[in-house]
Amino acid sequence: MSEVAIVGVGCVGFRPITPELSYKELMFEAAVKAYEDAGGINPREDVDVFVTCAEDYLEGFSIFDEFVPDQLGAALRHLLTVSGDGMLGLATAYMLIKTGYFDTVVVEAHSKASDILTYMDIVQFGLDPIFNRPLGGHPYYIAGLEMNRYLHETGTTEEQCAEVVVKNKKNAVLNPHAAYGANITLNQVMCSERLFHPLKKLEISTPADGCIVLVLASEKVAEKLTDKPVWVKGVGWCTETPSLETRDWTRAVYTRLAAEMAYKEAKISNPWRDIDFAEIHDVFAYKELQHMEALKLCDYGTAGKLTEDGLTALDGELPVNPSGGLLGMGYGLEASGLQKVLEVVLQLRGEAGARQVEDAQVGLAHTWRGIPTATGAVAVLSNVK
Amino acid sequence: MSLEKITNLFDARHWIGHMEADYRYTLGIAGERFFKEIKENARIMGAKCPKCGVVFVPPRLYCEKCFMKLEEWVDVGKRGEVYTYTIATIDIDGKKLEKPQIYALIKFEGAHGGLIHKIGETENVYIGMKVEAVFKPPSERKASINDIAYFKPVK
DSSP A67-111: GSSGGGT-TTS-EEEESS-HHHHHHHHHHHHHTTS-SEEEEEEEE
The verdict on a CB contact (< 8 Å) between B146 and A134 is yes
Q: How many alpha carbons lie under 13 Å from residue A152 in its C-beta half-sphere?
A: 18
* Count of pairs with CB atoms under 8 A, one residue in A, one in B: 122
Domains and CATH numbers, chain A: 4-118+208-230 (3.40.47.10), 138-205+233-382 (3.40.47.10)
Task: Report DSSP letters for B112-131, one per residue.
Answer: EE-EEEEE-S-S---TT-EE
Cβ of B113 within 8 Å of Cβ of A246? The answer is yes
Torsion of Cα atoms, B105 then A193 then A158 then A15, to 10°: 100
Q: Give me the residue spans of the domains in chain B.
A: 25-153
Number of Cβ within a 10 Å radius of residue B55: 21
Question: Which chain B residues in 106-125 lie under 8 Å from chain A, judged by CB atoms?
Answer: 112-118
What H or E segment, with its residue span, contains residue A306? helix A303-308
Positions of chain A with pLDDT lower than 50, given as ranges: none
Nearest-CA distance A280 → chain B (Å): 25
Task: Give me the pLDDT at residue A219, please.
Answer: 96
Residues of chain B neighbouring A249 (CB-CB closer than 8 A): 83-84, 105
CB contact under 8 A, B145 and A135: yes
Task: Tell me the shortest Cα–Cα distance from A193 to chain B, in angstroms.
Answer: 9
Which of A20, A115, A141 is facing B5, going by the closest CB pair? A20
Interface check B5 vs A, CB under 8 A: yes
Residues of chain B with pLDDT under 70: none
Strand pairing report for B112-113 and B55-57: parallel
B104 touches chain A (CB under 8 A): yes
Give the pLDDT confidence of A325-376 residue by residue, as tens digits.
Answer: 999 999 999 999 999 999 999 999 999 999 999 999 999 999 999 999 999 9
ipTM: 0.95
Residues B88 and A140: their CA atoms lie apart, in Å, by 9
Burial of B66-91, coded b for 16+ CB within 10 Å and e otherwise, reads eeeebeebbebebebbbbbbbbbbbe
Peptide linkage before A198 cis (omega within 30 of 0): yes
**Closest-CA residue to B130 (of B57, B79, B85, B86):** B79
For B25-153, CATH gives: 2.40.50.140
Answer for the pair B118, B151: CB distance below 8 angstroms, yes or no. yes
pLDDT score, position A169? 98
pLDDT at B7: 87
Of the candidates A143, A95, A132, A146, the one whose C-alpha atom is nearest the C-alpha of residue A265 is: A95
Residue A42 confidence (pLDDT): 97
Q: 3-state DSSP call for residue A139? A: coil
pLDDT at B64: 86
Residues from chain A contacting residue B57 (CB–CB below 8 Å): 245
Set of chain A residues whose Cβ sits within 8 Å of the Cβ of B60: 243
Contact: A197, B86; criterion CB under 8 Å: yes
- The answer to whether A342 and A364 are in contact (CB under 8 A) is no
Q: Residue B3 has what pLDDT?
A: 79
The DSSP code for A257 is H
Tell me if the pTM is above 0.90: yes
User: Within an 8 Å CB–CB cutoff, is residue B146 touching chain A?
Assistant: yes
- Inspect the interface and report whether the beta carbons of B19 and A62 lie closer than 8 Å: yes
Could A129 and B17 be called an inter-chain contact, meaning their C-beta atoms sit closer than 8 Å? no
Q: For residue A295, is it left (φ>0), alpha (ψ between -120 and 50) or beta?
A: alpha
For the four alpha carbons of B152, B153, B154 and B155, in that order, the dihedral sign comes to negative
Chain A residues inside the 8 Å CB shell of B19:
57, 60, 62
Question: How much is the pLDDT for A1?
Answer: 82
Q: Which of A138, A213, A244 is the best residue to mutate to test the B interface, defined by the most B CB atoms within 10 Å of its own CB?
A: A138
Amino acid at A117: L
Q: How far B155 CA lies from chain A's nearest CA (Å)?
A: 24
**What separation in angstroms does the CA of A303 have from each of A205, A253, A299, A300, A379?**
19, 16, 7, 7, 20
